[in-house]
Amino acid sequence: MLHDWNSSERVKAALEHREADRVPFDLGGTVLTGMHRVTYAKLRAYLGLPEGPIEICNLTQQLARIDDDVHERL
């Protein structure tokens, strides 16, 4: 029987150096895991997603809020 992993189990497995169903990653979950606005615009273009205004969540670092369509594509 296959195990259905949730995000917490994936992270715990990674921290324990065990293999999970896929590699956990966090992009934009907090302002500490964001992406610079220029890089984010390039990522959207690479993924073939439409251009649009980029919401900045950290002015000092110019970090973009990661939109749902990017999360879905990744």
What is d(CA 43, CA 64) in angstroms, rounded to the nearest whole number?
11
Q: How far is Cα 34 from Cα 31, in angstroms, rounded to an integer?
A: 5
Residues 8-25: tens digit of each pLDDT: 999 999 999 999 998 888
Question: Quick check: 27 and 35 in contact, CB under 8 A?
Answer: yes
Q: What is the distance between the alpha carbons of residues 56 and 40, in angstroms, rounded to a whole number? A: 11
Return the H-helix or E-strand segment holding 52.
none
What confidence tens digit (pLDDT) does each residue in 62-74 have?
999 999 999 999 8
* pTM given for the model: 0.75
Beta strands in 4-71, from DSSP E residues, in sequence order = 35-36, 56-58, 63-64
